[in-house]
Structure 1
Amino acid sequence: MRRISTNMNNNDVQYRLRNHESKLNTVNNQLGSQRRIQQLRDDPIAAGHLVRYQSFKGRIDTFETNAQTVTEKLTVREGYMNDSLQIMQRVRELAVAGANGTFTKEDLVNMASEVDELLKQLIQNANAVDQDGNSLFAGTNTKSTAFDVELGNVAGSAVPLIETVTYNGNVDTNRIEIDENQYLNVDNSGNRTFWAEHQQLFTGRDASGWQADRDSVIAVDGHQIEIKRGDNVYSLISKINDSGAAVKASIDPVSNGLNLITTDPRQLWLEDISGTTFTDLGVISSPEQRPPYNLNNDAVVSGGSMFDSVIALRDAMLAGDHESIGGRVLGTIDQSVDNLVTRIAEAGSEHERATLNIARNSQTSLNVTQMISTEGDLDFTKAVTDMRMLDYVHQATLSVAGKLYSSSLLNYMR
Structure 2
Amino acid sequence: MIRLSTTQMYNNSMNSMLQSNSRVNNVNNQMGTGKRVLTPADDPVAAAQTLNSKTRMAIVEQYNRNTDFGDKNLSLTESVLDQTETALISLKERAIQLGSDQWSDEQIKASGVEVKEMLNHLQGLLNTRNESGEYIFAGSQAEQKAYDGNFFKGDTVEREAQVADDTFIKMLTSGARVFENLEIGADKLKPTYDPNKVIPDPDVASNFTPDATVDTNFTDAPANTVVDPAKFIETPAGSGIYAVDPAYVGADPGTVVLDPAKFKETEAGSGIFVVDETYAGANPGVMKPDPSNLGFTNDPAQYGEDGAYPNNMLGVLQHLVDATGNGNPAGPVNKEAIRNAIQNIDVAFEQVSQSRSQIGARQNTLSAVKESNTDFKDFAKQSISDLEDLDYSEAYIRLQTSMLSYQAGMQVSGKVSSLSLFDYI
Structure-1-length-normalised TM-score = 0.68
Corresponding residue number in structure 1 for 2:176: 191
Preserved CA contact (<8 Å) 2:126 2:146: yes
- For residues 183-238 of structure 1, the C-alpha deviation after alignment (integer angstroms, 9 at most, x for no partner) is 1133421122223613889xxxxxxxxxxxxxxxxxxxxxxxxxxxxxxxxxxxxx
Distance verdict in 2 for CA 1:189–1:199, change over 3 Å: farther
Q: CA deviation at 1:349?
A: 1.2
How many percent identity over aligned positions? 22
Corresponding residue number in structure 2 for 1:353: 365
Mapped to 2, the partners of 1:191 and 1:52 lie a distance apart of 43
Distance verdict in 2 for CA 1:377–1:320, change over 3 Å: same
Mapped to 2, the partners of 1:293 and 1:381 lie a distance apart of 79
Mapped to 2, the partners of 1:313 and 1:292 lie a distance apart of 20
Mapped to 1, the partners of 2:302 and 2:391 lie a distance apart of 72
Is 2:297 the counterpart of 1:312? no
Corresponding residue number in structure 2 for 1:169: 154
The one-letter code matched in structure 1 to 2:166 is N
Corresponding residue number in structure 2 for 1:41: 41
Preserved CA contact (<8 Å) 1:196 1:332: no
Mapped to 2, the partners of 1:296 and 1:122 lie a distance apart of 20
Preserved CA contact (<8 Å) 2:31 2:390: yes
Gapped regions of structure 1 (runs ≥ 5): 150-164, 202-290
The one-letter code matched in structure 1 to 2:416 is L
Mapped to 1, the partners of 2:380 and 2:302 lie a distance apart of 54
Structure-2-length-normalised TM-score = 0.67
Preserved CA contact (<8 Å) 1:50 1:372: yes
Mapped to 2, the partners of 1:302 and 1:315 lie a distance apart of 11
Residue 129 of structure 2 aligns to a residue whose secondary structure is coil
Residue 30 of structure 1 aligns to a residue whose secondary structure is helix
- For residues 70-106 of structure 1, the C-alpha deviation after alignment (integer angstroms, 9 at most, x for no partner) is 1121111111110111111111111111222221000
Residue 418 of structure 2 aligns to a residue whose secondary structure is coil
- For residues 334-392 of structure 1, the C-alpha deviation after alignment (integer angstroms, 9 at most, x for no partner) is 10111111111111111111112122211221011101111122222212221222122
Gapped regions of structure 2 (runs ≥ 5): 187-297, 326-331
**Cα-Cα RMSD:** 2.6
Radius of gyration: which is bigger?
A: 2
Distance verdict in 2 for CA 1:310–1:90, change over 3 Å: same
Mapped to 1, the partners of 2:171 and 2:301 lie a distance apart of 26
Is 2:353 the counterpart of 1:335? no
Mapped to 1, the partners of 2:299 and 2:366 lie a distance apart of 31
Distance verdict in 2 for CA 1:200–1:26, change over 3 Å: farther
Preserved CA contact (<8 Å) 1:140 1:188: no
Preserved CA contact (<8 Å) 1:57 1:368: yes
Q: CA deviation at 1:293?
A: 5.1
Q: What is the aligned residue count?
A: 306
The one-letter code matched in structure 1 to 2:364 is E
Q: CA deviation at 1:170?
A: 1.8
Distance verdict in 2 for CA 1:129–1:70, change over 3 Å: same
Residue 405 of structure 1 aligns to a residue whose secondary structure is helix
The one-letter code matched in structure 2 to 1:134 is E
Distance verdict in 2 for CA 1:310–1:296, change over 3 Å: closer
Out of 384, 387, 393, which is 1:372 matched to? 384
Q: CA deviation at 1:179?
A: 1.0
The one-letter code matched in structure 2 to 1:354 is L
Distance verdict in 2 for CA 1:343–1:9, change over 3 Å: same
Mapped to 2, the partners of 1:292 and 1:362 lie a distance apart of 48
The one-letter code matched in structure 2 to 1:125 is L
Is 2:167 the counterpart of 1:182? yes
Corresponding residue number in structure 2 for 1:324: 337
Q: CA deviation at 1:9?
A: 2.7
